[in-house]
């Protein structure tokens, strides 16, 4: 194809290319029923006027931890206005001020002013709101290991979990999400006795489970019959031997792009081969 043809080629095999984005939230969340139930059990007391159960969510990368938290938080917020569910990505937010700004934003719908407001005022507004509205709060600290470098973890855990000492009746809990089992001990070292969590383990997916998940993603992202099951088998094998579901999703997207560049209406073995050379 010439350059014009490539740019203007308006046929596509992608029904929804966003389905292959890292932040896409899949409609169907497969093979994680027991983890979702365990998360629900930890949140249930909060819906009934008690404390959420502190939890550590453990599993290697791409085992669906972030997705699970987002899903369960959406369900809780759809069922109750008595629980504030805050998701914090600790790769992006590592200071006390930043993390409590995220919490503030969730509660009040806007960020606190960046300058001139002391931490204690932001903290006080949050806790007084929870107290007055009789709401409980659970904060998910995703990739919490990022807080260990700056040694902020203990203070932040303390701020959240000991709020009731200063603000009577406030009920708070933490979901700490970790992607490396080694950090489990680091967590105990960095966060002293204030956090005694329940563990929820996200085991690696089996090849068959990866196949099912990728098949579902294909349905969301490609038009029908773009890719055969036997090619998908190979992709699931690659992802499984790398122990990384994300690799499977990437391979689908990249081989789809190679198929389009080839003006092909289906993804063929050669497109996968090209994709494998490109995704390393």
Ligand X SMILES: Nc1ncnc2c1ncn2[C@@H]1O[C@H](COP(=O)(O)OP(=O)(O)O)[C@@H](O)[C@H]1O
Residues that bind ligand X (CB under 6 A): 22, 24, 26, 29-32, 59, 61-67, 213, 245-246, 249
Residue 31 binds which of Mg ion, ligand X, none (CB < 5-8 A, kind-dependent): ligand X
Residue 64 binds which of ligand X, Mg ion, none (CB < 5-8 A, kind-dependent): ligand X
> Could you tell me the smallest distance in angstroms from the CB atom of residue 266 to ligand X?
23
Q: Of 26-34, 58-66, 121-129, 213-221, which part binds Mg ion (CB under 5 A)?
A: 58-66
SS (H, E, C) the chain: CCHHHHHHCCCCCECCHHHHCCCCCCCCCCCCHHHHHHHHHHHHHHHCCCCCCCEEEECCCCCCHHHHHHHHHHHHHHHCCCEEEEEEECCCCCCHHHHHHHHHHHHHCCCCCCCCCCHHHHHHHHHHHHHHHCCEEEEEEECCCHHHHCCCHHHHHHHHHCHHHHCCCCEEEEEEEECCCCHHHHHHHHCCCCCCCEEEECCCCCHHHHHHHHHHHHHHHECCCCCCHHHHHHHHHHHHHHCCHHHHHHHHHHHHHHHHHCCCCCCCHHHHHHHHHHHC
Nearest to ligand X of 195, 205 (CB atom): 205
> Could you tell me the smallest distance in angstroms from the CB atom of residue 145 to Mg ion?
12
When binding is defined by CB under 5 A, the residue of 35, 54, 66, 172 that contacts Mg ion is 66
> Could you tell me the smallest distance in angstroms from the CB atom of residue 89 to ligand X?
10
Residue 197 binds which of Mg ion, ligand X, none (CB < 5-8 A, kind-dependent): none
- The tokens describing 68, both together, are 């699970």
Nearest to ligand X of 59, 256 (CB atom): 59
> Could you tell me the smallest distance in angstroms from the CB atom of residue 60 to Mg ion?
10
> Could you tell me the smallest distance in angstroms from the CB atom of residue 108 to Mg ion?
26
Nearest to ligand X of 171, 238 (CB atom): 238
Nearest to ligand X of 63, 94 (CB atom): 63
Q: Name the residue number minimizing CB distance to ligand X.
A: 64
Positions touching Mg ion (CB under 5 A) are 66
């Amino acid at each position: 194809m010439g350059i014009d043809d490539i740019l203007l080629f308006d046929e596509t095999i992608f029904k929804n290319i966003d389905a292959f984005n890292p932040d896409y939230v899949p409609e169907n969340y497969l093979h994680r029923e027991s983890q979702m139930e365990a998360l629900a059990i930890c949140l249930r007391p909060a819906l009934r006027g008690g404390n959420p159960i502190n939890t550590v969510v453990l599993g290697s990368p791409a085992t669906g931890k972030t997705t699970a938290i987002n899903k369960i938080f959406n369900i809780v917020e759809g069922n109750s206005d008595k629980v504030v569910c805050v998701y914090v990505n600790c790769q992006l937010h590592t200071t006390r001020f930043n993390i409590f700004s995220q919490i503030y934003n969730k509660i009040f719908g806007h960020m606190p002013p960046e300058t001139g407001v002391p931490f204690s005022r932001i903290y006080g507004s949050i806790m007084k709101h929870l107290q007055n509205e009789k709401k409980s709060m659970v904060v998910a600290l995703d990739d919490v290991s990022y807080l260990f470098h700056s040694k902020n973890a203990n203070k932040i855990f303390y701020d959240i979990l000991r709020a009731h000492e200063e603000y009577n009746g406030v009920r708070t809990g933490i979901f700490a999400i970790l992607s490396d089992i080694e950090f489990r001990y680091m967590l105990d070292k960095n966060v002293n006795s204030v956090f005694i969590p329940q563990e929820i383990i996200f085991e690696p997916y089996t090849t068959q489970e990866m196949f099912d998940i990728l098949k579902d993603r294909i349905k969301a992202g490609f038009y029908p019959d773009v890719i055969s099951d036997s090619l998908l088998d190979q992709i699931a094998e690659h992802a499984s031997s790398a122990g990384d579901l994300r690799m499977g999703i990437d391979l689908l997207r990249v081989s789809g792009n190679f198929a389009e560049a080839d003006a092909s209406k289906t993804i063929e073995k050669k497109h996968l081969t090209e994709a494998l050379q490109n995704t390393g």
